[in-house]
Amino acid sequence: MKAQLAILSAIALLVALSPGARAADLTVSVRTAAGKPVADAVIMVYPQAGGAPRPSGTYRMTQHHMMFDPFVMVAPVGAEVSFPNLDTVRHHVYSFSPTKPFELKLYAKGEAPSVKMDKAGIVALGCNIHDAMVAFIRVVDTAYAAKTDAQGKATIHDLPGGVASLRVWHPYSKAKAGETARAINLARDGAAAEGFTLELRAAPEMKHY
């Protein structure tokens, strides 16, 4: 009898502690007050249950037609980001951001120097030669991050259930440090949705974070 009880309470404990065999999907939509979809907003979820990012795949910030592509990149801490130059002109990529100050001195087409993003934060990019070239790398310390598409939407899959902090960052958001946050409580499975309204400033001249 005692053994049976022990087994039963062990099972109850396991069920209570289980992060859930299934997980939640969260879709976040971001709009301006006027209802316009906001692309390139970075959605970050920090579940109380944790989850650290692992760099995988390739992270490429190309220079093409005198522009950076993508405009906003989400990269996990530890990611090695390459900066391939696809233009016939030379570029000189730099960042003054405290998250990762660096400089890639003038380099030509076909070259692709890389930089390791070793801490979380914002890395604003510029080109010494072409002032109009601007882009951002948001280095994240959560496994659950994505950026919104042209419809202003991003879906983050396989989130553990429970309490989490949901953060939204956009390079031109008027919020403090460009970031808005709220606490959410995710069901153990199924789909959840959240919406944010951001006030954006007009794409400014190069701003150094």
Which residues are at the interface with Cu ion (CB under 5 A)? 91, 127, 129-130
Supply the minimum distance, in Å, between the C-beta of residue 132 and Cu ion. 9
Min dist. Cβ of residue 143 to Cu ion (A):
33
By beta carbon distance, the residue nearest Cu ion is 127
Give 106 or 187: the residue with its C-beta nearer to Cu ion: 106
The residue among 83 and 169 lying less far from Cu ion, judged by its C-beta, is 83
Question: Least distance (Å) from Cu ion to the CB of residue 96?
Answer: 16
CA distances from 8 to 13, 14, 20 (A): 9, 10, 19
Question: What are 45's two structure tokens?
Answer: 């979820």
**Pick 62 or 99: Cβ nearer Cu ion:** 62
How crowded is the C-beta side of 132, counted as CA atoms within 13 Å? 4
Beta carbons of 137 and 73 less than 8 angstroms apart: yes
Least distance (Å) between residue 138 CB and Cu ion? 21
DSSP string, 125-169: EEESS-TT-EEEEEEESSSEEEE--TTSEEEEEEEPSEEEEEEEE
Choose between 90 and 188: whose C-beta lies nearer to Cu ion: 90
